[in-house]
C-alpha cells in the first residue's frame, strides 16, 4: 500500500496489519447452535487461515520486534515493528489479502464533566 511504502521511507520498522483472504462470514451459524460452539468454529477457521503467517513469523523472529496479535473475529494479524524484508515475505504467503499500516481512530470529546 502507498501508506506502507511511505512509512518505510522514514522508519526501518513499521507496525503492520495482515488481513487474510478468506472472510469469517464463510463460517455459518447453525440455527439452535450454542454460541460457544460457533465461537470455537470461528477460532478454528481463523487459526487454520493464519497458520502460514504464524509459521513464517516463527521462522524469522528477527524481522519484527514485539509480540504479534492474532485476531479471530477479523481474521487479521497485527505485527509490531515489522521490517521491509518481512513484508516482502508475507506478500507471497498463500491466503494473505492485504498488508497495511494500522488504522488509527481519533475520538473527539467524550470527556466526563
Distance of CA 76 to the CA centre of its chain: 3
Predicted TM-score (pTM) of the model is: 0.85
The pLDDT of residue 9 is: 95
The pLDDT of residue 113 is: 56
Domain 2-100 has CATH 3.30.70: yes
Q: Are 43 and 104 in contact (CB under 8 A)?
A: no
3-state secondary structure (DSSP) of residue 39: helix
Phi, psi of 5 (to 5 degrees): -60, -45
Cell 506478500 locates to 91
CA distance 2 to 8: 10
The pLDDT of residue 35 is: 85
What cell was used for 113? 464533566
CA distance 2 to 20: 19
pLDDT tens per residue, range 37-87: 888 999 999 999 999 999 999 999 999 999 999 998 889 999 999 999 999
Amino acid at each position: 500500500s502507498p501508506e506502507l511504502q511511505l512509512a518505510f521511507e522514514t522508519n526501518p520498522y513499521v507496525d503492520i496489519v495482515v488481513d487474510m483472504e478468506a472472510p469469517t462470514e464463510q463460517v455459518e451459524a447453525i440455527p439452535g447452535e450454542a454460541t460457544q460452539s460457533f465461537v470455537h468454529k470461528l477460532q478454528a477457521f481463523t487459526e487454520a487461515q493464519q497458520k502460514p503467517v504464524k509459521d513464517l513469523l516463527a521462522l524469522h523472529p528477527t524481522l519484527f520486534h514485539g509480540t504479534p496479535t492474532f485476531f479471530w473475529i477479523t481474521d487479521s494479524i497485527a505485527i509490531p515493528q515489522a521490517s521491509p524484508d518481512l513484508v516482502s515475505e508475507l506478500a507471497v504467503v498463500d491466503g494473505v489479502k492485504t498488508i497495511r499500516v494500522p488504522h488509527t481512530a481519533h475520538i473527539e470529546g467524550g470527556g466526563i464533566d
